[in-house]
Amino acid sequence: MKPDLATFEASRASLLGHAYRMLGDFARAEEIVQDAWLRWQKSKEDATAPHAYLVTVVTRLCLNELNSGRRRHEEPRGDRLPEPIATRDGGLGRVELLDRISMAFLVALQRLTPTERAVLLLHDVFDFEHAEVARLIGKTVPACRQLLKRAKENVTSARRTIDTPPEEHRRLLRAFMRAADAGEAAEIVSMLAEDAALVIDGGDADTRFGRTKNLRVPIVGAARIAAFLAATVPRAPNVERLEIDLNDEPAILAVQEGRPRAATLIAVSDGKIQSVFIQADPARLRHARR
């Protein structure tokens, strides 16, 4: 099949979701998808299965991006949180939710190698056969099976958090934010799993969340997290807290003078908060508003 704009537009949402999961950067994902369309237009081969062809092109572009020296130079930190995106009421709902895009799942994906990430998404989201994946990434079928097995083992815990009912998730998030604002360490501890983790991405060296910069490594342990939050949660004036949906789950967006300052998301499992994610990098909050 020759390049066809209508066919491409029909695939755009799933391609955008795929690139976003691969990169954790929505703006760059949009560029990758547009590049895939331009490459299809220039291609001299007929695509008998256009959607699969475009998924393949997007995957290769993402792998090139993730493995490039430019990417490592521009993003030298390995502790960055993915960019949260609004996914309800129009907004950026055009991202097709073919699979999980929760913050917990995206963070788990980032811990995989780029190749493991690609294998997992191609197999579990797009139903590519092992032989197809092997040809795409230049590995043997047994090697692909091993990569998939390892990737699934590393994202299992993130998948479990998806099973929490939205109402329970929202209730815990509200209670957690109230306790953090009030500096009630004991109340915070009661809501956290014993081995819970707190991740804060404050962006560059000049950006602060409250009285602390971004955390280079997560804080692990309910008592340690509670003590940290009780001492550092910002109480800046004129900050409005909005309850919205980010990455298809409840979130709190702190807005000051019309600009997003921080997005707080949690991962919940077995009635306890397993992870707290605070994205406070202004450059990564551009798609957090509807």
CA distance 109 to 63: 13
Q: How confident is the model at residue 64 (pLDDT cuts 50, 70, 90)?
A: very high
Task: State mean pLDDT over 169-182.
Answer: 94
CATH of the domain at 207: 3.10.450.50
Return the higher-pLDDT residue of 53 and 209: 53
- Looking at the fold, whether 145 and 229 belong to one and the same domain comes out as no
- Looking at the fold, whether 202 and 182 belong to one and the same domain comes out as yes
Question: Considering only 23-32, 88-97, 243-252, which range has the smallest mean pLDDT?
Answer: 88-97
In a domain, 290, yes or no: no
- Looking at the fold, whether 146 and 178 belong to one and the same domain comes out as no
Q: How much is the pLDDT for 92?
A: 41
Q: How much is the pLDDT for 116?
A: 96
Q: How confident is the model at residue 206 (pLDDT cuts 50, 70, 90)?
A: low
Query: Would you say 209 and 234 are in contact if contact means Cβ atoms under 8 Å apart?
Result: yes
What is the percent of the chain with per-residue pLDDT over 90, rounded to a whole number? 61
Q: How confident is the model at residue 290 (pLDDT cuts 50, 70, 90)?
A: low
Query: Would you say 199 and 278 are in contact if contact means Cβ atoms under 8 Å apart?
Result: yes
Task: State mean pLDDT over 154-174.
Answer: 82
Question: Considering only 64-78, 87-101, 228-242, which range has the smallest mean pLDDT?
Answer: 87-101
What is the percent of the chain with per-residue pLDDT over 70, rounded to a whole number? 84
- Looking at the fold, whether 172 and 69 belong to one and the same domain comes out as no
Structure tokens at 132: 């197809």
Domain that holds residue 200: 164-284
Evaluate if residue 99 carries a pLDDT over 50: no
Q: How much is the pLDDT for 221?
A: 97
Angle (deg, nearest 10), helices 114-124 and 103-110: 130
- Looking at the fold, whether 154 and 18 belong to one and the same domain comes out as yes
- Looking at the fold, whether 132 and 213 belong to one and the same domain comes out as no
| Strands 192-201, 219-220: pairing kind | antiparallel
Task: Tell me the whole-structure pTM to 2 decimals.
Answer: 0.87
Contacts of 79 (CB under 8 A, 6+ apart): 199, 201, 214, 215, 216, 217
Q: How much is the pLDDT for 162?
A: 62
Return the higher-pLDDT residue of 227 and 204: 227
- Looking at the fold, whether 92 and 15 belong to one and the same domain comes out as yes
In a domain, 289, yes or no: no
Q: How much is the pLDDT for 52?
A: 94
Task: State mean pLDDT over 45-74.
Answer: 84
Q: How confident is the model at residue 70 (pLDDT cuts 50, 70, 90)?
A: low
Q: How much is the pLDDT for 275?
A: 95
- Tokens 């409250």 appear where? 210
- Total domains in the chain come to 2
In a domain, 31, yes or no: yes
**End-of-domain residue from the set 131, 159, 187:** 159
- Looking at the fold, whether 83 and 188 belong to one and the same domain comes out as no
- Looking at the fold, whether 136 and 82 belong to one and the same domain comes out as yes
